[in-house]
Amino acid sequence: MLTLYESRLSLNCYKVRLLLALLGVPYTRQPVDIRKGEHRTPDLLVRNPFGQIPVLDTGSVALRDSQAILVWLARRHGDAQWMPTQPEDEALVNAWLAASAYELRLGPYEARLRKLAPALCVTGDTVDIQARNTARALERFEHRLRDRQWLAMDHPTVADIAAFPSLAHASDGDVDLSACPGILGWLERVRTLPGFVGLME
Ligand SMILES: N[C@@H](CCC(=O)N[C@@H](CS)C(=O)NCC(=O)O)C(=O)O
């Protein structure tokens, strides 16, 4: 049985829960209270020396990094739809995974953390820099989604799952998506995927 070390506060953990739900993979949740420092206990540090969640323990290996976990889940439990194997397609999905880990992280992800749990912000960016990062991330994602259904391919992939939490919960950080019809339409498409679960489920 898979064990997910996770927190409901964390959008990186939500990415993993969302794909587990979409794939219908059973797992056990192991709540970690990051505000109490539980992500740095010896038990967790041995699974992830980076001292971060999510961690997915497969029983034989402890996987870290939400993007890496999504790829593993897709390969191990999904079909090629979620993580294509053709090299050019795979590179495209990886590029959008990286945009979630960098552009979205520095923008709307950090804006939300600044409001909900400032001690967990990783960048120390000023409000102005964060706003600029957010505007740049939204511009890139809106440009991509204005005329497309899905981020990387013509069907959903792990790239969509990695990006969804930061954009779906952008309003938690007072980020306004009303000028982004492409992103808003795409968010609705993700919400209608069979097995979809929300952040608090
Ligand atoms: N690249 C990692 C980042 C994970 C991460 O930043 N996790 C946060 C929770 S969302 C965390 O554990 N923060 C505590 C810390 O870094 O001390 C991923 O995508 O999983």
The CATH code of domain 87-191 reads 1.20.1050.10
pLDDT number for residue 200: 94
Which tokens go with 21? 């739900």
Is the pTM higher than 0.85? The answer reads yes
Mean pLDDT throughout 43-47?
A: 95
Element (H, E) at 2: strand 2-6
- In ligand 1, which atom is closest to the CA atom of 39? 12
pLDDT digits (tens, 9 = 90+) for 146-198: 999 999 999 999 999 999 999 999 999 999 999 999 999 999 999 999 999 99
Residues above pLDDT 90, as percent of the chain: 92
pLDDT number for residue 198: 98
46 half-sphere exposure, CB direction, 13 A CA radius: 2
Of 69, 73, 67, 37, give the one whose Cα is nearest residue 52.
37
Ligand 1 pocket mutation, candidates 50, 53, 161, criterion most atoms within 8 A of CB: 53
Task: Establish whether residue 120 lines the binding site of ligand 1, counting it when its CB lies within 6 angstroms of any ligand atom.
Answer: yes
pLDDT digits (tens, 9 = 90+) for 129-157: 999 999 999 999 999 999 999 999 999 99
Of 171, 183, 108, 117, give the one whose Cα is nearest residue 144.
183
- In ligand 1, which atom is closest to the CA atom of 64? 20
- If you take atom 6 of ligand 1, which residue's CA is the nearest one? 52
- pLDDT band of residue 52 (cuts 50, 70, 90) is very high
Task: Establish whether residue 134 lines the binding site of ligand 1, counting it when its CB lies within 6 angstroms of any ligand atom.
Answer: no
Instruction: Tell me if the bond preceding 181 is cis, omega within 30° of 0.
Output: no
Top-tier CATH class for 2-77: alpha beta
Q: How far apart are CA 141 and CA 187, in angstroms?
A: 12
Give Cα separations from 65 to 26, 97, 153 (angstroms): 20, 11, 23
Ligand 1 pocket mutation, candidates 19, 32, 55, 120, criterion most atoms within 8 A of CB: 120
Domain boundaries, the chain: 2-77, 87-191
Q: How far apart are CA 147 and CA 150, in angstroms?
A: 9
From the CA of 168, how far away is ligand 1's center (Å)? 18
